[in-house]
Amino acid sequence: METKKLEHIAIIMDGNGRWAKSRGLPRIMGHHAGVKAVERTVRAAKELGIPCLSLYAFSTENWKRPRGEVLGLMGLFRYYLRSKLEELCKEEVRLRFAGDLSALPHDIAAILEETAEKTKAFTGTQLVTCVNYGGRREILEAVDKLIASGAEGPVTEDMLRAHLYLPDLPDPDLIIRTSGELRLSNFWLWQSAYSEYYFTDKYWPDFDKQDLLDAVGDYYERERRYGKA
Ligand code: IPE
Ligand code: IPE
Ligand code: MG
């Protein structure tokens, strides 16, 4: 395989609900199965030596879902972080979060912050979970912070970027979306300007290491031009 930059893979994990429905199960069971796919994918990304994996777990629009589903998803975040933190620490995975954490239940926001703090010294794989994340909200928050800092225009890209949630994160080289939907749904709007996209019809709970390899293989076949001739 050609050695082309692949620092950051971002995944829009979609299709949990349809996966469950197709089995006659409640939607929340799809989210549970989705957690297993997260574990497989994190392992596979580590094996492939991908420096950064970001996962879209809950969007600023997902609050519009039925209350029971939202509560179930919050419960899953709690469970996952509490039960997996030790294991991820052992594997020296740096866990980070992007999103408006202030709107989350307090205990979850606290776990997320504590987890990020505990793992911040790890320099291997970074796992970024986007929770209550919206690209538009991120940009608006950055603009507000920029104004509050007293910065004067003309505003440069670097000035704005400095106020994004995780300014040091490389832009996603590859964005994968599962479940056959062909849209960004408010994910990494600023950062995706020159990302490559890969879509698969598979529902997220069925996503496995081979699917990641297929996406990565496809990425290496592409030519990234960034506007050049
Ligand atoms: C993705 O699966 C998980 C979240 C958005 C939290 P969905 O729950 O969107 O599944 P579908 O798209 O309804 O099948
Ligand atoms: C995008 O999926 C958000 C996450 C995967 C967390 P959605 O299922 O919410 O997106 P839409 O509504 O189909 O665009
Ligand atoms: Mg969906």
Summarised one tens digit per residue, pLDDT across range 127-146 is 999 999 999 999 999 999 99
Residue 1 lies in a domain: no
For residue 161, the CA-to-ligand 1 centroid distance in Å is 29
List residues, by chain if needed, whose CB lies under 5 Å from ion ligand 3: 14
- Decide whether any atom of ligand 2 lies within 6 Å of the 138 Cβ: no
Pairing status of strand 174-177 against strand 8-12:
parallel
Q: Which helix (H) or strand (E) holds 52?
A: strand 52-59
Residue 76 sits in which domain range?
Answer: 8-134+171-220
Domain count, the chain: 1
Return the half-sphere exposure (C-beta side, CA atoms, 13 A cut-off) of residue 119.
Answer: 26
Looking at residue 84, its pLDDT comes to 84
Q: Is 13 helix (H, G, I), strand (E, B) or coil?
A: coil
pTM beyond 0.95, yes or no: yes
> Is 96 within a domain?
yes
Domain assignment of residue 207, yes or no: yes
- Asked if residue 148 is part of any domain, the answer here is no
| pLDDT for 89 | 86
203 within domain boundaries? yes
In a domain, 153, yes or no: no
- Write out the catalytic residue numbers: 14, 62
CATH of the domain at 39: 3.40.1180.10
Give a yes or no: residue 225 inside a domain: no
Residue 181 CB less than 6 A away from ligand 2: yes
